[in-house]
Structure 1
Amino acid sequence: MVRVSADTEGLKRDLTEVRSLAGKFTAGLSTAFDQVVFKGRDLGDVLRSIALRLSSSAFHAAFRPLEQGLANAITGLVGNILPFRAGGVVGPNGVTPFASGGIVGSPTLFPAGPSGFGLMGEAGAEAILPLQRGADGRLGVKADGGGRGVTVNVTIQTPDIEGFTRARGRVAAELARAVDKGRRNL
């Protein structure tokens, strides 16, 4: 069985726009015939009026993406002028905390000590990751819960079962230390 998936949101928007234009055309024709038949207006004038309204609707529909692009560009420009508000350093209600991490998706200035400002996100999205000290004192990114458990298989071969029975506690302790050390170094 072959499964195909596609993003059809653009097509849905276009079909909605076509339905809207068709509805306007139908309403325009209905109004035109009403004005010609019941109000005695000249058919040529009414048809010109319909053509102008349809042209206006088509013009606005064609330029809507340009209007949206221009609005996005202006928003981006204002965001660069006021970078802390747009970049997430200062949110709409004050300071936006990143203690749990976050993502910066566009070029954003941030205060950087005595030098003034730093720039993040200039080459694409960047992650803000909180750091923690490990048991060994090293500073790093904490990762937990993402992977599956690790299975450790141990094979012990001994010709002397009684000697192994006596040393079993020491072997278990040594094995636990080795596994713990390996887990810390992952």
Structure 2
Amino acid sequence: MDEDETFTVAIEADTTSLDRALADLSDRADRFGSALTSAFAGAVTGSRSLDSALKQLATRLSAIALDAALKPLGDFASSAIGQLFSAVAGAAGGGGGAVMPFAKGGVVAAPSYFPAGGRVGLMGEAGAEAILPLSRGADGTLGVAAPAGREGQTIVFNVTTPDAPSFKRAEAQIQAMLTRAAARGRRGV
């Protein structure tokens, strides 16, 4: 690889949550500006005393702050009630595909509610969680077992380079080659 070659990396990101947060922040800033303008306009025109204008401003700012503070709680309650009703409706109506089996394991990537001995359990609240089926060994122990007949792969990858900087420049290519080798091994190619 020549030293004057360059790599271009394209990064794509889902920015919808950032857009929503910025729109919410913009809305709150507009409400704050409107409250401030209204209070001082009333004081300047003489329709209200400065004291009553400042009291009105404080009341409106408190309401805006309270709305912002309670919004996450309201969103959580709304989501929890919706999931609970959908779970109850799915259980009562036969599910119609609403029940997701995990006999072979799986991953729960978002907060989800489940029945837990007369109570409601919550999983996935701090990020992705794995569900692993347990199996009993020949000696009676219960635990997670690797699939029978499959051993871990060993991939030996030798890299010869004249110096550390040239290795650093080729590191991304080496990682890609190693990833492709591991994928071929998983497919049995």
**Bin for the TM-score computed over the shorter chain:** 0.3 to 0.5
Q: TM-score, normalised by structure 2?
A: 0.44
Q: TM-score, normalised by structure 1?
A: 0.45
